[in-house]
Structure 1
Amino acid sequence: MKLVSPIRRAGRPGLRSVRAPLSAAVLASTLLGLHTAPASAVERAQPSAAAAAAPLEYSDRLIVRYRSAAEADVPSAGLQLRAHAAAQPFGTHMKHLRRLGTGAHVFQLDRPMPQDKLQQMARALQNGDADVEYAEPDLRMRPQFVPNDAKYAKQWNLFEPTTGLNLPTAWEKSTGAGVVVAVVDTGVRPHVDLQANLLPGYDFVTDRSTANDGNARDADASDPGDWTVADECGEGWPGESSSWHGTHVAGIAAAVANNGIGVAGVAHGAKLLPVRAMGRCGGYTSDIADGMIWAAGGKVSRVPANKTPARVINLSLGGASRTCSTTYSEAIKAVRQRGAVVVVAAGNENMSVARSTPANCADVVVVTAVKRNGHRASYANYGTAVDLAAPGGDTGAGILSTLNSGTRKPAKDTYAGYSGTSMATPHVAGVAALMLSVNPKLTPTQVETLLKASVRPFPGNCTGCGKGMLDANMAVDAAITARSLTVQGAPGP
């Protein structure tokens, strides 16, 4: 991950053009290495521990939940006045932006501020208004992957005995049919190897300046590209070509198989629900949270209902934060109540996962990455919160998946190998879909329990990588066994 600072906000309604020290881990809180171009992707150097801890995180939004306004689209004039008053001592103005699907409200500041100041403002608001249940910064998230320039004709991650998923055997029992997998990411291109499995999704990006599609929220979840120019996402940011990150993640999870072309997805019989929540420079926590809730079939204000709720939600994204935000916690709780499993990338800073959110949240399946030889990948986060590991690739052996050849705007369909915990995560999401296909009655907790109970031992050094390596065949067998026990009247896991 390359750390950068600051961001320029120009030409955005309600904001002055400012420069503030922003890090890549903040701005979108951690795109841990956007790629330069499909044909020449370069792996970023890993920062030192001191460098990773130094940059301040900035945002220009607060999330506030009111006890008396949870069901209202707009808080009362009195509540808004007290929120505005709380911001004044910090030299900024605050206005109401919108209501979240969780019932909380998003407020817009007139300039980006460091996270510590935002937390002070949030505490001042909460302490000064008895009607405030909680207030917290609305941080930005970024896709989690480390690109590389290796392309492989074979998908070693699916079948090789060392770290492959043992999928050919698993596919004899399940392909994920009947299950919807949501990819909350940069959007998904209508790639020829994805089209047959793509459902109508939604674009939850609210920031027009980073949406890159000419508008804010709409029903078009396709990825217009997330390219940036130098210094756009922070001072020292070199500028990068479009990553097509969501398209790559979607292909790993559920690319079409047996069509004579391209690659096979882990759950190629499942359907893909594209949920666009990140654009140029990443995406806000609030947009991601709304995307999660909508994906699971929950209600989000001013957004049409999702007619194809997902049972699995893939979050190949993250940001630097020592605690899980209340917004993420509430969104995770909401989608789990609707039966959806949340699978999250551990992050790519080669540090403790306790410092990466939403991987440090409770009730999610946290995935780190192994190399082709079974050792922990050089970039992969680790720690007690990690549940299991899956193939993420590393230098010289990436994960091959669907992509686009455009450096800025969409061009031709193509394929490329990327590396990162972003790539490891959809392997697990795909296997969760295989399990739910043979046993739809599994709860999110049961899916997580069975995944961790059916892993293989690590063939290499992988301290802090969870219970073991993902094994699709063993996981599907475990789901089938749980179904049989339920039918026979015995308690499930």
Structure 2
Amino acid sequence: MTKRLLILVAAACALLSCVKEERQVATLSKEDKEVREPRSVFVPGQVIVQFDEATTEALEGKLTKGALDNTGNESLDRVLRLLGATSVKRLYPDAGEWEERHREAGLHTWYIVNYDEEKAVETKAGASLLSTVDGIVYTEPMRVKKSMAAPFNDPYFSRQWHYYNDGSKSTWVSGADINVVPVWTKYTAGSSEVIVSVVDGGIDLTHEDLAPVTLPGGANGSRNFIKNTYEITAHSHGTHVAGTIGAINNNGKGVCGIAGGSDGNGGVKLISCQVFDNSAQYGSGFYEAMVWGADHGAVISQNSWGDDYETLSQAQAGSVGAMKGAIDYFIKYAGTDKKGNQTGPMKGGVVIFAAGNDGWPIGWPAAYDEPRCVAVGSFSSMNTRAYYSNYGDWVDIAAPGGDAKIGPQVVSTVPGGYGEMQGTSMACPHVSGVAALIISYYGGPGFTNDMLVERLLGGANYDALPTSYQIGPRVDAYGSFRYGSSEPPAKVTSYTAEGTGGNINFEWTVGSDPDDEKAFGYVLFVSPNLSDFTSLKPGTPPSTMKRVAVEVGDLKVGDVIKGNVGGLEFSTQYYCAIAAYDYGKAYSEVSQVKSVKTTENQAPKIETSYTGNWKIRANQIAEIPIDIYDPDHHQFSVTFNSDCEHATMVKNPNGTYTLKIDGTATDEGKYKATFVAKDSYGKVGSKTFNFEVLPNHAPVVKKNLEDLLLEQIGKTVVIDINDYLYDEDGDDITFVVEHTNSKILHVNPVGNILNMTSLSYGLDEIIIHAYDIKKAEGVFSFKVSVRNPDSEADIYPTQVTDVLKVAGGNEAETIIRIYSSTGQLVYEATTTSSAFNPAVVDMSGLAPGIYRVVVIIGGKQTERTIVKL
């Protein structure tokens, strides 16, 4: 049967970087004063909720469209607003052909709420508030790894979502990874005593992240089974697989390997058993290669390849065939000498196979029915079965393999660099890497391959993937290390429980755990039936009991922790208790059962953070924040009325409200606005806000502008009109400028700046009309005289229709004589004139023609010839 690589896409090398995650839980009290949110072990701003069937049906369409601010469930809207929710999406995405079965199992009622963690802290609202929402029957923080900086300095670690997925990208779902970071920090990152045989394309023996940990070609090392030599040819697929298992950690280069050590020198060792080559059409040497690994110190055989079939029916008729002998050999003899004595860190070997990429319910040799031959299916960064993954009850465990259709691929080493690929080929080495970690820590005399498989599969997360995926439980490195932790945390011996509205608030202290130092979390139980607590099993409480999981996070033994169970009936007697649990869900005994009564329903509250004087200027559009909420987190409706036509209520996208008052459209006077909120139980809260719209004031002159005297043609003068006008209400003022003689000045207003340029001699008057936001008008004016400095008198215009003007500089006696073209004196007068108050001569009664004008000021005579039109 032709063997084939179980890979789908090989991408170009890509640059990457490193991150860690955190998660929501309870609050810590220090000296009963300081309260903080210990979030370091939880996904930032993420919680799982389950709606009841009726609520799911009502919300489903809206939530899938992202209508977070207007779901129609006011109780939910309120809490989502407090948390600063950014998305609410299904925990189990639409499964296509499997959707009907998913709905029968109730998977469609489970959602992930992503929220703004900083806002939630700001508003003192934790994810536990969701448990108080009508229609939510269960809440649980999204359990993940301890929050920390990246444990190693490898620059591309942050792109390796498959090791640590914090849900921070749109195509990532928090926890869709192998949960390896806690193992690195608490237990081991890999030992050089462990050898993994990579039956695949050749590993790049010159790669900066692999060369020191890959055994060189030789009689006791790597071997090329295609050419039957010890010369290893670098191959992209084999190098990628190898990097996932053992790329050197903490060396400041490239990527991290699952078992790549912690000191920059490497962790587990790799043997390259080359069965694929870039120049060969088909791989070869598979049987011998597997046996070679067993004979040369390997205790894990990594196999990202499978038998090739043309049709599904052929595959279903297939079998493990002759490969059975090689697999059995490795399982029996790996880690032992020729006499069967244990020489390695584990007696016997484990063979790990990729399930295949056909999307078929069978794949060989992975489906070989042997407990120590582990078949690996693939899931995506969205925690869905990868579209290509083979499936069936023969698949033992699932690991991240990437899914380019909906998210990123797997990042690892490729010859000479780093790149992305996807496939069960990429999922398989994740399981090999976790297995290598287990052997690194627990291996030694007496440790067997059965022990490894029990811990590997027993510690997997059986709740992470729907059983309908049929790709096994999700591999959980930390879970495998915690597997077998049989001693539960200490029982809660003292706690307080207080009813407030439809909520019961708990407070207790973190207890110890003999295996883990402290409890991993607590479950709060509430029921109206005391009988529900008889023989209560914390892991499987009765359906009539409401429960909320609260994880401990960074809290220490003895720290105060708080939790809340909401959505309860008012003024009703309930019974409650607490049970602790460890990471492996070993539960403590249930605490003392207490009787607590909830209080009566509270009316919705209407508040504002506005601290002003409620006096609205005529130029102002006031927007006053109004916070309307229900203390018991019930749904509520809001109505609004006001005697001010231009006062309105606005519901904002984030669920808050705004009182908007348009002073620019409202007459001065006193008004009121009333908000009324009514909860789903008929309880009403109302609040009236009184406000006043102040009178409007027109712009006025704050400083007079003196008349301007210019003694040059082409002279430009610039003034800022705002220097001379102001508005008592602080309005922005708009201006309209006019002038009386466009032949004297060119006037160019730009905003509040007035540019004036002299064009000819004479007098012009500038009139400025100033308007405020309500169009109230203020007017001021000034004169501009343009004079010839070489002449004692200005005589203008030179072409006269009716009026001739004569002006000197300062005010002085002025003698004016006008002579006809024949020399006859036709006009004579003595008067006064100045630049801004010229003498005016009425020439309307004179016949058209040429006239000579003589002006005497201060004994000096000026003559001009003019034309009477």
The answer to whether the Cα contact below 8 Å between 1:323 and 1:360 also exists between their aligned partners in 2 is: no
CA distance in 2, matches of 1:257, 1:271: 13
Give the gaps of 5 or more residues in structure 1. 1-25, 41-150, 207-215, 226-243, 298-305, 405-412, 486-493
- Counterparts in 2 of 1:283 and 1:458: CA distance versus 1, 3 Å: farther
Equivalent residue for 2:827?
Answer: none
2:365 maps to amino acid: T
Instruction: Report the equivalent of 2:195.
Output: 180
Residue 281 of structure 1, CA deviation: 2.5
Structure 1 Cα separation of the partners of residues 484 and 439 of structure 2: 8
Distance 1:278 1:288 in 2: 9
Query: 1:202 corresponds to which letter in structure 2?
Result: S
Residue 381 to residue 336, structure 1, CA distance change in 2 (3 Å): same
For the residues of structure 2 that align with 1:250 and 1:265, how far apart are their CA atoms? 8
Inter-partner Cα distance in structure 1 for 2:12 and 2:241: 14
Q: Which amino acid aligns with 2:377?
A: T
Amino acid aligned to 1:196 = P
Name the stretch that deviates more: 427-436 or 164-173. Answer: 164-173
Equivalents in 1 of 2:440, 2:300: separation in Å? 11
Cα drift, residue 359 of structure 1? 3.7
What secondary structure, in the 3-state scheme, does the structure 1 residue paired with 2:435 have? helix
Q: Is residue 426 of structure 2 the alignment partner of residue 423 of structure 1?
A: yes
CA deviation vs aligned residue, 1:193-244 (integer Å, no higher than 9, x gap): 11121112333434xxxxxxxxx21112332x5xxxxxxxxxxxxxxxxxx1
Amino acid at match of 2:351: V
The equivalent position to 1:386 in structure 2, one of 381, 395, 401, is: 395
- Note if contact 2:465-2:474 (Cα within 8 Å) is conserved in structure 1: no
Do the aligned residues in 2 keep the contact of 1:179 with 1:437 (CA within 8 Å)?
yes
Matches within 5 A, 1:394-405: 394-395=403-404, 396-404=407-415
Q: CA deviation at 1:278?
A: 1.8
SS at match of 2:429: helix
1:129-169 Cα offsets, whole Å, 9 max, x none, are xxxxxxxxxxxxxxxxxxxxxx9952111122421222111
Q: Secondary structure at the match of 2:420?
A: strand
Determine the structure 2 residue equivalent to 1:246.
238
Within 1, Cα distance between the matches of 2:208 and 2:253? 9
2:255 corresponds to which residue?
A: 263
Alignment of 1:482-493 (within 5 A): none
Distance 1:460 1:342, change over 3 A: closer
When residues 334 and 359 of structure 1 are mapped into structure 2, their CA distance, relative to the original with a 3 A threshold, is same
- 1:68-116 deviation digits (Å, cap 9, x = unpaired): xxxxxxxxxxxxxxxxxxxxxxxxxxxxxxxxxxxxxxxxxxxxxxxxx
| Higher percent of residues as helix | 1
1:356 offset after TM fit, Å? 2.7
Structure 1 residue 332 corresponds to structure 2 residue 327: yes
After TM superposition, list the pairs within 5 Å mapping 1:334-353 onto structure 2. Answer: 334-338=329-333, 339-353=348-362
Tell me which of 207, 211, 215 is aligned to 1:199: 215
Q: Call closer, same or farther: CA 1:418–1:152 in 2, change over 3 Å.
A: farther
1:316 to 299, 304, 324: 304
The DSSP-based 3-state class of the residue aligned with 1:189 is coil
Against the structure 1 CA distance between its residues 462 and 163, is the aligned structure 2 distance closer, same or farther, given a 3 Å change threshold? farther
Cα separation, 2, equivalents of 1:474 and 1:429: 15
* Equivalent residue number for residue 282 of structure 1: 282
- Structure 2 unpaired stretches of 5+: 15-155, 166-173, 261-266, 309-314, 334-347, 487-514, 516-869
Question: Are the counterparts in 2 of residues 254 and 271 from structure 1 also a CA contact under 8 Å?
Answer: yes
CA distance in 2, matches of 1:359, 1:203: 27
SS, match of residue 468 in structure 2: coil
Counterpart check, 1:217 vs 2:222: no
> 1:170 Cα shift?
0.4
C-alpha displacement at 1:176, in angstroms? 2.0
2 CA distance for matches of 1:39 and 1:256? 18
Structure 2 residue identity aligned to 1:444: N
Instruction: Determine what percentage of the aligned residue pairs are the same residue.
Output: 32
- The DSSP-based 3-state class of the residue aligned with 2:462 is coil
Find 1:357's aligned residue among 365, 381, 403. 365
Q: Higher relative contact order by CA 8 Å / sep ≥ 6: 1 or 2? A: 1
**1:291: which partner in 2?**
289
Aligned-pair CA distance for 1:459: 4.0
The answer to whether the aligner puts 1:435 opposite 2:438 as a matched pair is yes
Q: Distance in 2 between the 1:447 and 1:466 partners?
A: 20
Distance in 2 between residues matched to 1:453 and 1:340, nearest whole Å? 18
Q: Which residue of 2 aligns with 1:236?
A: none
Greater Rg by CA: 2
The structure with more strand, counted as a fraction of residues: 2
- Alpha-carbon distance in 2 for matches of 1:399, 1:335: 28
Three-state SS of the structure 2 residue aligned to 1:416 is: strand
> What residue identity is the alignment partner of 2:176?
T
Instruction: For residues 413-462 of structure 1, give each alpha carbon's deviation from its aligned partner in whole angstroms, at most 9, with x where no partner exists.
Output: 21111111011110100111111112224322222222111111354546
Contact between 2:455 and 2:483, CA under 8 Å: does it hold in 1? yes
Residue 154 of structure 1 pairs with residue 159 of structure 2: yes
Decide whether aligned partners of structure 1 residues 472 and 34 sit closer, same or farther in structure 2, where only a CA change above 3 A counts: closer
Q: Distance in 1 between matches of 2:320 and 2:189?
A: 35
Distance in structure 2 (CA, Å) of the matches to 1:32 and 1:167: 24
SS in 1 for 2:3: coil
CA shift at 1:37, angstroms? Answer: 6.0
Contact 1:455–1:467, Cα closer than 8 Å, also in 2: no
Q: Is the 8 A contact 1:350 1:378 kept in 2?
A: yes
Q: What residue identity is the alignment partner of 1:162?
A: G
Q: Please give the alpha-carbon distance, in whole angstroms, between the structure 1 residues aligned to 2:212 and 2:322.
A: 34
Q: Equivalent residue of 2:439, what SS?
A: helix
Q: 1:164 is matched by which residue type in structure 2?
A: D
The 3 A distance-change label for structure 1 pair 295 and 450 is: same
Distance 1:32 1:425, change over 3 A: closer
Change (3 A) 1:459 1:426: same
d(CA) in 2 for partners of 1:389, 1:36: 21
Alpha-carbon distance in 1 for matches of 2:9, 2:398: 23
Q: Secondary structure at the match of 1:30?
A: strand
Report the AA paired with residue 307 of structure 2: G
What's 1:163 paired with? 176
- Counterparts of 1:427 and 1:435 in 2: how far apart (Å)? 13
Question: Aligned partners of 1:479, 1:296: CA distance in 2, in Å?
Answer: 29
Cα distance, 1:263–1:402 mapped onto 2, change above 3 Å: same
Aligned-partner SS, 2:208: coil
Distance 1:311 1:364 in 2: 12
Assess if the C-alpha contact under 8 Å between 1:341 and 1:364 holds in 2: yes
